[in-house]
A and B are shown apart, each in its own frame.
Chain A
Amino acid sequence: GAVVSQHPSRVICKSGTSVKIECRSLDFQATTMFWYRQFPKQSLMLMATSNEGSKATYEQGVEKDKFLINHASLTLSTLTVTSAHPEDSSFYICSARVPSGVGNEQFFGPGTRLTVL
Chain B
Amino acid sequence: DAKTTQPPSMDCAEGRAANLPCNHSTISGNEYVYWYRQIHSQGPQYIIHGLKNNETNEMASLIITEDRKSSTLILPHATLRDTAVYYCIVPSENQGGKLIFGQGTELSVKP
Give the B-binding residues of A (Cβ under 8 A). 1, 4, 6, 32, 34, 36, 43-46, 49, 57, 91, 93, 95, 97, 102-111, 113
Residue numbers in A under 8 Å from B87 (CB-CB): 43
Q: What would be 22 A-B contacts, judged by CB atoms less than 8 Å apart? A: A1-B46, A32-B96, A32-B97, A43-B87, A44-B44, A44-B101, A46-B99, A46-B100, A49-B98, A91-B41, A95-B43, A95-B99, A97-B97, A104-B32, A104-B97, A104-B98, A105-B34, A105-B46, A108-B36, A108-B46, A111-B41, A113-B41
Complex partner residue of A111 from B34, B43, B85, B101, CB under 8 angstroms:
B43
Residue numbers in A under 8 Å from B85 (CB-CB): 43
- Chain B interface SS verdict (over half): loop
Asked if residues A104 and B103 are in contact (CB atoms below 8 Å), the reply is no
Contact of B45 with A by CB under 8 A:
yes
Residues of B88-111 at the interface with A, using a CB-CB cut-off of 8 Å, are 89, 91, 96-104
Complex partner residue of A103 from B41, B42, B91, CB under 8 angstroms:
B91
Residue numbers in A under 8 Å from B36 (CB-CB): 108
CA distance A108 to B38 in the complex (A): 10
CA distance A2 to B103 in the complex (A): 25
Q: Are A106 and B42 CB-contacts (below 8 A) given A34-B98, A43-B102, A43-B103?
A: no
The 9 A-B pairs of least Cβ separation, nearest first, read: A108-B43, A44-B101, A104-B91, A43-B101, A108-B44, A111-B43, A110-B43, A93-B43, A104-B97
Max chain A Cβ within 10 angstroms of own Cβ: one of B36, B98, B104: B98
Asked if residues B98 and A46 are in contact (CB atoms below 8 Å), the reply is yes
Residue numbers in A under 8 Å from B89 (CB-CB): 104
Residue numbers in A under 8 Å from B45 (CB-CB): 108
CA distance A104 to B98 in the complex (A): 7
Asked if residues A43 and B43 are in contact (CB atoms below 8 Å), the reply is no
CA distance A107 to B34 in the complex (A): 13
